[in-house]
Structure 1
Amino acid sequence: MENVILTIHLILALLLIGVVLLQRSEGGGLGMGGGGGGNGVMSGRAAATALTKLTWIFAAGFIVTSVTLTIIAARSADGGSVVDQFGGTAPAAQQPAAPLGSDLLPPTGTDAPLAPPRADQGTAPAQGTAPAEGTAPVEGTAPAAPAAPATNN
């Protein structure tokens, strides 16, 4: 249905362009005068009236098909963005730039490395830590030493 209306819409657009170009210029807005005397099949006034009526009919049809296509497109839309159809994901938010020179300095002794991920997050435990209960130890890690019993004095 949408393709039929779209085809009619395109035909109306071409007909509208043709009818407008056939009309006699009455203004002279571009410095060109209308010509053509009255030696055609129709007189000048009858041709102008017929072309004006055709222009109104084609323009009304063009507007109706435009509104119809808009309604059909709105009904079939899923509410997503056009960007989602092509890119899949939105671009990440930009972080503010650091002051000039802060990243250019070498690390100092007080700069600590990032902390390893926790074992309960589904990643391998860090070296020297015990695996979470019910998981197998990761190769290359030492088992944790048993904790000393707490004594109350």
Structure 2
Amino acid sequence: MENIVLIVHLILALCLIGVVLLQRSEGGGLGMGGGGGAMSSRGAATALGKMTWALAVAFIVTSITLTIFAAQNASGNSVIDQIGFETPSAPEGETEGSSLPSGNDLLPPSSGNAPATPPRAD
């Protein structure tokens, strides 16, 4: 059912794009020119205008339907739960505490056991 709604949604999106592109341009930015349209008291109710409204309403309905399907499929799981992170297990013979480095390994070497500097090549 979800796949059918998704296919209908995609077809509606393509049809809506096509119908909007077929409509007559009224010139001017944001509908400033033309004198009619959505801003006037009586807009022209052309066939393309009615078809645009019908496709837009159907597109919104399929969008809401797909959102409901996605919410039902989520069922309270987070994305992290779906990835399935697992804690790495310690190799055999080692305990969990021994896999961590000791505190001395994290410190820089002291001057007594520092490596000798190589001679400079001049």
TM-score (norm 2): 0.56
DSSP-derived class of the 1:3 partner: helix
Percent of aligned positions with the same letter in both sequences?
A: 65
CA distance in 1, matches of 2:111, 2:77: 46
- Residue 15 of structure 1, CA deviation: 0.3
Count the aligned residue pairs: 83
**CA deviations over 1:46-94 (Å, ceiling 9, x no partner):** 8x7111111100000000000011111111213222244346259xxxx
Q: Which has the larger radius of gyration?
A: 1
Note the 1:65-104 alignment, pairs <5 A. 65-86=62-83, 88=85, 103-104=107-108
For the structure 1 residues 84 and 53, does the alpha-carbon distance in structure 2 shift closer, same or farther, using more than 3 Å as the test? same
Whether 1:21 and 2:21 are equivalent positions in the alignment is yes
Q: Larger relative CO (CA 8 A, sep 6+): 1 or 2? A: 2
Gaps of 5+ in 2: 35-43, 88-105, 113-122
Whether 1:51 and 2:41 are equivalent positions in the alignment is no
For the structure 1 residues 89 and 53, does the alpha-carbon distance in structure 2 shift closer, same or farther, using more than 3 Å as the test? farther
CA distance in 2, matches of 1:29, 1:9: 29
CA distance in 2, matches of 1:18, 1:107: 76
For the structure 1 residues 89 and 66, does the alpha-carbon distance in structure 2 shift closer, same or farther, using more than 3 Å as the test? farther
DSSP-derived class of the 1:8 partner: helix
Higher normalized helix content (fraction of residues): 2
For the structure 1 residues 89 and 25, does the alpha-carbon distance in structure 2 shift closer, same or farther, using more than 3 Å as the test? farther
